[in-house]
Amino acid sequence: MALTKRQSEELAKQTFEYAPAPESTDFVKIEPSYNLFIGGKMVAAHSKKHFPTINPATEQKLSEVVEADEVDVDRAVKAADEAFDSWSRMAPSRRARYIFRISRILQERARELAVVETMDGGKPIKESRDVDIPLAAAHFFYYAGWADKLEWAFPNRKPRPLGVAGQVIPWNFPLLMLAWKIAPALAAGNTVVLKPAETTPLSALLFADICMQAELPPGVVNIVTGGGKTGSLVVTHPGVRKVAFTGSTEVGKLIQRSLAGTGKRLTLELGGKAANIVFDDAPLDAAVEGIVNGIYFNQGHVCCAGSRLLVQESIAEPLLEKLKLRLGTLRLGDPLDKNTDIGAINSKAQLEKIESLVESGIEEGAEIFQPECKLPERGYWFPPTLFTNVSQSYRIAREEIFGPVLSVLTFRTPAEAVEKANNTPYGLSAGVWTDKGSRILWMAERMRAGVVWANTFNRFDPTSPFGGYKESGFGREGGRHGLLPYLELV
């Protein structure tokens, strides 16, 4: 029996007390300082510079990592280049065995990896435990299967690896982005130099340990830490044949310009401003869950987040009522607590960016809603936020906020929904909520987005290609398509 409006309000007002359920950190060993992973071992850096990596939920320093310089990056590329010959000529089924082994160790060490990911990045443990780490392992497992079947993947062609791949990743899904990059590169027979983001280097350094445990031949994977400067040294190094970058559109454009004319292969996975479109025949309670998952998952630090909710005018009122009630039940706080829904914002800089965009939304005339929510005193936090009365021209409707902030717009007809959804320079993903299969297909055909989810959102699978249109980048990661950027087809 459906609840009346009053009953739902009463229910939402009840406070559910949960006893704290923090995940233990006892079995995690974070070193006070890390070196670089080059040529199969951890080596002291030429650069004498280190910088701290902190826990954004407590502002406590977790460790120190190297800011790799030109000499360090050069050593890493040379190590990868030296390893390329034997790795690319190795029997593909043997190569596959190493990649399977990595996948298995990721599963075995899943708990340790999940805790480190949560401590370094601020995301709730239930997400790193149930999404990031299992998906990273699944990615290696999936691509291990392709390693000895490349000629079947591309019939009548001779697939050949390219050489050293230079890979730069962001901080929102550190280990998962590493897996998206390294797994297809290795399966295709390339070697790798990867640079993790400056605020979340620890899971990549743990991955270095996993490569050693898997006895991966030295130099096949190399990890160099550092900031944007180190990233630019990796992508512009003349020994790198293929560049894979995931990050902001701004940096993606810079990289594209710097590689012009070099003959290097490039794939870019950049920002997004996805529309999550709810039609009047959608199951509203399911749609509310999908909207919450679409924008508040990982504090909204998701390139394909459903940050623009397009709702059909006739159901806007009941849908928003349900959504606001649901926001009141989200639990914000200690990311290591297994009951936490919303963790810490990844860094002070990101928090400031979110605050300034939210400020602009208020100034431009949008109406803000935030549930009552006590923020911890230390660390970087932002409550789940929803804006109504939003016009398409407002910054909050156009720019990627990369935080737990939803802008709500309305539409009357499917054609208007299409026009508004596509009215963005980005094109990474979209969501459609409706009871009609024919409408899903009609909408999917018209969305200028790499992924269109139907009656769900933020679902990922290693077998499924992911990537953007327009300023969201080019090239695909995942699936058979994800092998192509790492191969020359003769």
Which residues here bind ligand NAD, judged by CB under 6 A? Answer: 168-172, 195, 197-198, 227-228, 231-232, 235, 246-248, 251, 254-255, 269-272, 303, 400, 402, 428, 468, 472-473
**Which of 256/339 has CB closer to ligand NAD?**
256
CB of 227 to ligand NAD, least distance (A): 5
Q: How far apart are CA 149 and CA 134, in angstroms?
A: 24
**Which of 64/148 has CB closer to ligand NAD?**
64
Which pair of tokens denotes residue 307?
């940050």
Position of minimal CB gap to ligand NAD: 231
**Which of 254/373 has CB closer to ligand NAD?**
254
Q: How far apart are CA 243 and CA 266, in angstroms?
A: 5
**Which of 411/466 has CB closer to ligand NAD?**
466
Q: Of 23, 117, 303, 471, which is the active-site residue?
A: 303
CB of 235 to ligand NAD, least distance (A): 5
What are the φ and ψ backbone dihedral angles of 166, each rounded to 5 degrees? -100, 120
Q: How far apart are CA 188 and CA 485, in angstroms?
A: 10
Amino acid letter at 309?
L
Q: How far apart are CA 387 and CA 102, in angstroms?
A: 44
Amino acid letter at 347?
S
CB of 317 to ligand NAD, least distance (A): 32
| 373 is a catalytic site residue | no
Q: Of 117, 127, 269, 477, which is the active-site residue?
A: 269
Alpha helices in 189-315 (DSSP H): 202-213, 228-236, 249-259, 284-296
| 303 is a catalytic site residue | yes
**Which of 190/232 has CB closer to ligand NAD?**
232
CB of 320 to ligand NAD, least distance (A): 26
Cα diameter, the chain: 70
CB of 189 to ligand NAD, least distance (A): 24
Taking the CA of residue 246 as centre, how many other CA atoms within 13 Å lie in the half-sphere pointing to its CB? 29
Which pair of tokens denotes residue 392?
């398409």
Asked if 49 contacts 366 with a C-beta cutoff of 8 angstroms, the reply is no
Q: How far apart are CA 368 and CA 359, in angstroms?
A: 10
Catalytic residues: 269, 303
